[in-house]
Amino acid sequence: MNDWWRGAVIYQIYPRSFQDTTGDGIGDLAGITQRLPHVASLGVDAIWISPFFTSPMKDYGYDVSDYRGIDPLFGTMEDFDRLIGRAHELGLKVLIDLVMSHTSDQHEWFRESRASRDNARADWYVWADPKPDGTPPTNWLSIFGGPAWQWDARREQYYLHNFLTSQPDLNFHNREVQDALLDMAGFWLDRGVDGFRLDTINFYFHDARLRDNPPLPPERRKADTAPAVNPYNHQSHRYDKSQPENLAFLERFAAALKPRGAVVVGEIGDSERGLELLEEYTGVPGRVQMSYVFDFLSGDDLSADRIVQVFADMQAVAPNSWPCWAMSNHDVVRHVSRWNLSDEAARAYATVLICMRGSVCLYQGEELGLPEADLQFEDLRDPYGIEFWPEFKGRDGCRTPMVWDGSENGGFSTGKPWLPVPEAHLPRSVAAQDAEAQSLLHHYRRAIGLRRDYPTLRSGSMTGIGAEGAVLSFRRADDRQSLSIRANLSDSAAGGLAPWQVQIIED
């Protein structure tokens, strides 16, 4: 089916923490292949694998030094070919994570670019002279803290980095850069991937005139999208990202993918203009099919009212868009901890997520109800957390290994895992929950199965959304079917529903 992605359920795998087969304490591609039957048993449509490309691992793979190589920690190209073959045998599509906005500073393109001001790749990254007073070219800030500019003594210029200083930003205004990235995407399509998750899709272009960002008016500040200590949240991002030139590039990318039937889920990180971008990127054919959205990835709770508000805003600003929802991922506190959910509550949210209009990304371990790991400073590996500790503890707490069974390290590795396996996770292992008919794991299987039982949940319209106290209600319909969905998102009985009950009625 050509539009398999519409309403698909996608399972995100963080390769470092999924399954180790070599005993080095780090997950690998062979481990993913070994565990694919578990993924298939959930009934999902596809997997998204976080980066496994050659990398110095300063940002654990989101800093790529060779886009066409497999990092030896994760295995070989033969391992990757086997993974794809096995996934396809099991009926799973494979999406890989392309980090095109920036490379590692160890990428040969950057080594060449930084060597002089007049080499063949001099303009492949964003180089700029200081302001006359010697300060950085603009006031732009890095998400991971500090200015977005790093001084380079050899070129006597600054280069742009939206994340770590070791993640220099590629210059998309240069057509050769675009061509090189398109070639690279073709390389992976040739190996059989079904599409891409595109990292930080709205960071590709910067303002070519290098204008300063204005301050963000206080009413637009969203303190919970990043650590409160991070001034990044107090600046408008009018000029450092989300530039209009991106649309033409996305169209080029889509045109190259079209003959291969490949799909894109693009990650839009923009708390000011996110909805407008959602419509521009996915609401117009020929750009990207789906956009990964952040609405359910933050906040202290997820009330019926908030869900209603999210859909009302989307209906108003992005009526033609196709979102891809997630509650957890490798960057944020796991949602059962973020929202302090009981197993019953986690069940209800899983069902509601499956019933809403949009595609869905589940994050490994979510189906087990794993809570966020409570790590000590000594355990931290994430540079973002190390920088902002203790106000922000970083992203390691959601990246600890999967727990498969009751053996050593939950069956993840026979060696010392790169992040500890929390004791509290062990009783929630796949084996333990497989054996228990009433487990959350079995609930996820049933909930995902609803998208097969009721095809309108995949692609039907969503109307009549409202909240009465804690009870969320909406309707999904297409020309075959009409469903009324009601969910009590609270600990007490309400609206004729038991606590955390979700009701689906076929009209």
- Candidates 255, 242, 321, 243; CA nearest to 289 is 321
Distance between CA atoms of residues 490 and 214, nearest Å: 41
- When asked if residue 213 is in the footprint of ligand ISL (CB under 6 A), the reply is no
Catalytic, 506? Answer no
Q: What angle do CA 352, 402, 339 make, to 5 degrees?
A: 40
> Residue 252 to residues 188, 208, 247, 286, 307: CA-CA distances in angstroms?
17, 20, 9, 9, 34
Q: Which of 15, 147, 227, 269 binds ligand ISL (CB under 6 A)?
A: 269
Q: What is the CB neighbour count within 10 angstroms for residue 468?
A: 11
- What mask, x for binding ligand ISL by CB under 6 A, covers residues 324 to 363? ------xx--------------------------------
The DSSP call for residue 16 is: G
- When asked if residue 365 is in the footprint of ligand ISL (CB under 6 A), the reply is no
Distance between CA atoms of residues 374 and 411, nearest Å: 20
- What mask, x for binding ligand ISL by CB under 6 A, covers residues 78 to 117? ---------------------x------------------
- When asked if residue 163 is in the footprint of ligand ISL (CB under 6 A), the reply is yes
- When asked if residue 199 is in the footprint of ligand ISL (CB under 6 A), the reply is yes
- When asked if residue 242 is in the footprint of ligand ISL (CB under 6 A), the reply is no
Stretch that binds ligand ISL, among 67-75, 208-216, 263-271, 493-501 (CB under 6 A): 263-271
CB of 63 to ligand ISL, least distance (A): 7
| Torsion (CA) 43, 45, 48, 53 in degrees, nearest 10 | 110
Polymer length in residues for the chain: 507
| Torsion (CA) 409, 414, 415, 420 in degrees, nearest 10 | -10
Q: Which of 33, 113, 200, 433 binds ligand ISL (CB under 6 A)?
A: 200
Site for ligand ISL in 56-85 (CB under 6 A): 59, 62
| Beta carbon nearer to ligand ISL, 330 or 393 | 330
Catalytic, 89? Answer no
| Beta carbon nearer to ligand ISL, 225 or 321 | 225
**Residue carrying the six token digits 């990235």:** 181
- When asked if residue 281 is in the footprint of ligand ISL (CB under 6 A), the reply is no
- When asked if residue 271 is in the footprint of ligand ISL (CB under 6 A), the reply is yes
Three-state DSSP at 504 gives: strand
CB of 297 to ligand ISL, least distance (A): 8
- When asked if residue 366 is in the footprint of ligand ISL (CB under 6 A), the reply is no
Distance between CA atoms of residues 127 and 130, nearest Å: 10
Q: Annotated catalytic residue: which of 28, 199, 207, 372?
A: 199
Q: Which of 139, 150, 225, 359 binds ligand ISL (CB under 6 A)?
A: 225
| Beta carbon nearer to ligand ISL, 53 or 163 | 163
CB of 163 to ligand ISL, least distance (A): 4
Strand order in the sheet with 149-152: 127-128, 157-160, 149-152
Q: Annotated catalytic residue: which of 267, 366, 372, 382?
A: 267
Quick check: bond before 259 cis, omega within 30?
no
The structure tokens listed for 249 are: 């590039």
- Candidates 93, 99, 96, 98; CA nearest to 3 is 93
Q: What is the CB neighbour count within 10 angstroms for residue 25?
A: 17
- Residues in contact with ligand ISL by CB under 6 A are 59, 62, 99, 143, 163, 199-200, 225, 267, 269-271, 330-331
Catalytic residues: 199, 267
